[in-house]
Amino acid sequence: MAFQIPKEILPQDVARQLNEGKALHVLDVREPAEWAEGHVEGAKHIPLSQLVERHHELDPNQEVIIMCRSGNRSGLACELLHEKGYKVVNMTGGLNDWTSKLVRG
């Protein structure tokens, strides 16, 4: 049976909540070059390829919204972190569907 992500959110909903000033815990699992092209302000960056070694940098008691370019890598990250006891939310559609401002560099 395929893994079912317990919770999902749309990019528009994440952007709206951030614009309203809600404190969200956001993790971007894209590669460094993708991150440099533009990322969500305040997001933590741990590439998916480093997540197994670096997951301890996240708070397992805080819900974390995981994003990537399209929603596929974030889905894998959700599966990995969920198995380790983290509270995860997959941002479906990824930054391909993001319409709000991004930070460059």
Burial of residue 59 (number of CB atoms within 10 Å: 0-12, 13-18, 19+): exposed
Catalytic-role residue among 68, 78, 81, 95: 68
- 45 strand-pairing partners: 28
Mark whether 78 is an active-site residue.
Answer: no
With tokens 């941002």, the residue in question is 91
Q: Which amino acids are annotated catalytic?
A: 68
